[in-house]
Amino acid sequence: MNKKLKIRDLTLRDGQQSLFATRMTGEQINQVIDIYKEAGFYAMEVWGGAVPDSVMRYLDESPWVRLSSISKVIEGRSYLTALSRGRNLFGYAPYPNTIIDGFYKEAVKQGLGIMRVFDALNDLNNVKSSIEKINEVGGIADGAVCYTVDPKSAEPEKVGFFARLFGKKPAVEEKIFTDEYFVEKAKGMEAMGAKIITLKDMAGLVNPARIATLIPKLKAAVNVPIDFHTHCTPGYGLASSLMAVINGVDILDTNIWYFGGGSAAPALELIYIFCKKLGVEVEANMEAVGKIRTKLEGIRKELAAFDLVKSFPITFDPLKDTIPAEIDAQFDRAIEAAKANNEAELLNACHAIEAYFNFPKPNEIVKNAEVPGGMYSNMVAQLRSLGAEDILNDAMALIPEVRRAAGLVPLVTPTSQIVGSQAVNLALDRKKGNPDYTMVTNQFVNLIKGEYGKTPVAISPEFREKITGSAEEVPYDIASYKAPENPELPEFGGVKLAKDDNDYLLLQLFPAVGATFLKNRRAEEFEASKPKVEEVVVEEPEVEEEPITGPTVTIPMGGTVLSVAVKPGDTVKRGDELFVFEAMKMENSIIAERNGVIKRVFIEPGQVIATNAVLIEYEG
C-alpha cells in the first residue's frame, strides 16, 4: 500500500457537482486563491467541464482571464487541471484537429498543467488526438476511463413448470462493463501517451467491493499513476474512496469541507482522518486547507441561491477538534470493514460518519435509477418547465430502455443529457398517445447515426433507420465542419465580434454563449470609446402591434434560439427546418408542419424564448 496520497482538489470546478463552483465569481475566487498557493495540492481542477460556458453564460466573465489569473497566483506550486470531452472539447459536436490543436496550445500557454480527457462513449479514437496534442504542447495528458454499469435487467422472463422440468432457463443478459473492459480502456490510453489514468466515476455508482477488485487490476495493468474520481450522491463516495486508498490509489479527487459530500466528491478532511489512522501521508498542507475552509463557508452563504441542499456540515477542524469516541470508533469500524471487504458494514460506518458531520444523505432515487445526480436534476427541471412533473417516474423508468437502444452508452456529459432528454420525450410521447420516438433531439439523432463515435454495443440497424431514416452508420465527417462566422458589428463601429484568436476559440467552442459574451465585450469597449455627452431622452410614439391572424408556430419548452432559417416572405414546405433552439443543453430543430408563406418571424439568434410563445406566423 502507498504511504503517500496525492490530492487533486476539485473545489473551484466541481464544488457540489458544479452547483457552487460554476457560480463563483472571479472576486470570490480571489478570496481564497492566495491561500491555495500554500495548500500544497498535487493538482487543482479549476477549469473545463461546465466552467468556461458557465462563467460566460451566468457571470459574463472571460474563461481565459479566470485561468490565467489563477495561474499567475499559484506560480506552478500545484498543477492546474481541466476537464475536456476529447474530440468534443466542451461542446456536443466533434471538432477538427485545427481547433483541438489551437485550444490545447492556448490553454497550456495560459497556465494549464494537466488536461483530463474523456470520451462519453469510451471510444479511444475520440481521445487519441487530444492526448497526443496535450503532450506535444507541454501539458500532461490524463486519460479518463468513464465508469458505468450495465443497466438493470428488464422484468425476468417467467418460466413455467414444464419448461423448468425440461431444462429451459431464463435468458441471461451479457455483462459488458466488466473490470476487464475498464482495464483495456486504460491500457489503450496509456499506449496513446496518457501520463495519468483516471477512473472517472461521474455518477458515483462504483461501490466499494468493485473498487477492491478494479483498482488493483488497473495498477497491475499500467505503469502510470492511477487517479480515482467519484461523487457521493448515491452514498458510495466516501466508502469507495477509502477502499481506493487501502488498495493503493496514487491520486484521489476531493473537495474541501463546505463544498464536499452530497453531489460532490468526498470531503478532504474526512479522507485525512482515515489516512492518519492508516499511516498514509496526505500530501497537502492541512493548516492552509483550514484557512480556505473558513473562507468557503462565507462564500457558500453568498451562493445560497444556487444551493439545493441548504444544509451545512458542522464546523470542524481535523487538526484541532476532538471527535466523539463513538464517531471515532466508526472510522475504525469502516477501516476494518474495508480491509475485510465487508461492504455492508463499511457503508453503514461511512453513512454514520457523514450523518454526524451533517453531510447530505444518500439520494435513493439516483442510487436506484443508477444515473448521475446532474442528469436527474436536468430531467426534473425539463419536466418542470413543461408542467409535466407527473411523468418523472415514467421518464426515469425509461432510461434503461433508451440507453439500450442507444448502444449502452455510459451516462456522462453529454450522453447523460442526451439519454435523459430522450427518456423525457419518450414519456411525453406515450402520455400523448404518440408513437415512440416521435420527438427526438438533434443530439439523439446524431448519436444514433454514429456521429459521436462507436458505442459500447452496436446499435441495431432497424432502430437507426427508425431514428435517422437510414440503417447505415454515418460517422461524423470533420471536413463538413462549418466554422462560425466572425461578423463585423456596425452598431459598435464596425469592429469584428471576435477581435483575436482567443475570442474566436470561444466562438468556435460555444457558438451561442460565446457570441453573446463577445458582443457584450464589444459593446463595453464601444461605449468606453465614445465622448461623454449629455443624453437627451426622446419619447417614441407607441406603435400598436398588428394582431396575429394567421397560423402560428410555438415550442413545447422554453430555451435559447440558436439559428433561424426563414424570414418574412419565404415559402416553406412541410418538413423544412424553421429554426433551432437549445433547451436543457439539447438542440432541437423545429420543422414546418405545413406548406405556406412566412408572414412574420418574432425571434432572432441568442433570444431566450418562453414555453408556448408564438415565434412564427404564416400568411393566413
| Residue 321 domain flag | yes
Query: Which pLDDT does position 186 carry in this prediction?
Result: 98
Q: Looking at the structure, do residues 385 and 419 belong to the same domain, yes or no?
A: yes
CATH of the domain at 405: 1.10.472.90
pTM: predicted TM-score of the whole model, two decimal places: 0.85
- Section 253-276 average pLDDT: 95
CATH of the domain at 142: 3.20.20.70
Of the ranges 356-360, 393-397, 425-429, which is most confident? 356-360
Q: Looking at the structure, do residues 323 and 445 belong to the same domain, yes or no?
A: no
Q: Looking at the structure, do residues 86 and 214 belong to the same domain, yes or no?
A: yes
CA 12 – CA 83 distance, rounded (Å): 13
Q: Looking at the structure, do residues 398 and 336 belong to the same domain, yes or no?
A: no
CA 260 – CA 48 distance, rounded (Å): 19
Query: Which pLDDT does position 92 carry in this prediction?
Result: 66
- Among 145-159, 178-192, 280-294, the range scoring the smallest mean pLDDT is 145-159
Dihedral (C-alpha) 19, 23, 27, 33: value to the nearest 10 degrees? Answer: 30
pLDDT band at 483 (very low <50, low <70, confident <90, very high): confident
Query: Which pLDDT does position 583 carry in this prediction?
Result: 64
Spatial CA neighbour of 483 closest among 82, 70, 38, 102: 102
Helix H or strand E encompassing 356 = helix 343-356
- Among 35-39, 287-291, 562-566, the range scoring the smallest mean pLDDT is 562-566
Q: Looking at the structure, do residues 88 and 186 belong to the same domain, yes or no?
A: yes
| Residue 595 domain flag | yes
- Section 298-319 average pLDDT: 89
Helix H or strand E encompassing 158 = none
Q: Decide: 11 and 255 in contact? Cβ < 8 Å.
A: yes
Spatial CA neighbour of 554 closest among 471, 617, 511, 606: 617
Crossing angle of the two packed helices 343-356 and 208-221, in degrees rounded to 10:
110
First vs last Cα of the chain: how many Å apart? 77
Query: Which pLDDT does position 94 carry in this prediction?
Result: 78
Question: Does residue 110 carry a pLDDT above 90?
Answer: yes
- Rounded to 5 degrees, φ, ψ at 582 are -110, 130
Question: Does residue 157 carry a pLDDT above 50?
Answer: no
Question: Does residue 410 carry a pLDDT above 50?
Answer: yes
Question: Does residue 162 carry a pLDDT above 60?
Answer: no
Query: Which pLDDT does position 106 carry in this prediction?
Result: 93
Question: Does residue 156 carry a pLDDT above 80?
Answer: no
Of the ranges 17-26, 515-524, 574-583, which is most confident? 515-524
| Residue 539 domain flag | no
| Residue 254 domain flag | yes
- Among 96-100, 336-340, 569-573, the range scoring the smallest mean pLDDT is 96-100
The number of domains in the chain is 4
Q: Looking at the structure, do residues 88 and 225 belong to the same domain, yes or no?
A: yes
Query: Which pLDDT does position 559 carry in this prediction?
Result: 73
Longest dimension (CA), the chain: 95
Grid cell in block for residue 392 = 418523472
| Residue 163 domain flag | no
Spatial CA neighbour of 246 closest among 274, 270, 222: 274
Q: Quick: pLDDT tens for 436-446.
A: 999 898 889 99
Residue 20 sits at the vertex; the CA angle it makes with 334 and 387, to the nearest 5 degrees, is 105
Number of alpha carbons in the 13 Å side-chain half-sphere of residue 588: 22
Question: Does residue 536 carry a pLDDT above 70?
Answer: no
Question: Does residue 170 carry a pLDDT above 80?
Answer: no
Query: Which pLDDT does position 125 carry in this prediction?
Result: 92
Choosing from 448, 480, 512, the residue where a domain stops is 480
In angstroms, how far is CA 559 from the centroid of its own chain?
A: 19
- Among 147-156, 340-349, 512-521, 558-567, the range scoring the smallest mean pLDDT is 147-156
Handedness of CA 420, 425, 431, 437 (dihedral sign): negative
Question: Does residue 241 carry a pLDDT above 50?
Answer: yes
- Section 173-191 average pLDDT: 94
Choosing from 529, 562, 587, the residue where a domain stops is 529
Q: Looking at the structure, do residues 311 and 434 belong to the same domain, yes or no?
A: no
Residue in the structure block whose three cell numbers are 431566450: 608
CATH of the domain at 578: 2.40.50.100
Number of alpha carbons in the 13 Å side-chain half-sphere of residue 60: 7
Mean pLDDT of the chain: 88
Q: Looking at the structure, do residues 249 and 264 belong to the same domain, yes or no?
A: yes
Residue in the structure block whose three cell numbers are 460555444: 510
Choosing from 330, 365, 400, the residue where a domain stops is 365
- Section 102-106 average pLDDT: 91
Q: How many residues belong to the chain?
A: 620
Q: Looking at the structure, do residues 48 and 77 belong to the same domain, yes or no?
A: yes
Query: Which pLDDT does position 140 carry in this prediction?
Result: 97
Q: Which residue has the higher pLDDT, 264 or 324?
A: 324
Q: Looking at the structure, do residues 356 and 384 belong to the same domain, yes or no?
A: no
- The SS3 call for residue 107 is helix
CA 398 – CA 131 distance, rounded (Å): 35
| Residue 609 domain flag | yes
Query: Which pLDDT does position 497 carry in this prediction?
Result: 96
Q: Looking at the structure, do residues 524 and 597 belong to the same domain, yes or no?
A: no
Q: Decide: 83 and 49 in contact? Cβ < 8 Å.
A: yes
Q: Quick: pLDDT tens for 50-60.
A: 788 888 988 99
Give the structural domain span for 188.
4-151+178-365
| Residue 443 domain flag | yes
Query: Which pLDDT does position 208 carry in this prediction?
Result: 98
The alpha helices in 151-232, defined as continuous H runs, are 161-165, 179-192, 208-221
- Section 9-28 average pLDDT: 81
| Residue 158 domain flag | no
Q: Looking at the structure, do residues 119 and 218 belong to the same domain, yes or no?
A: yes
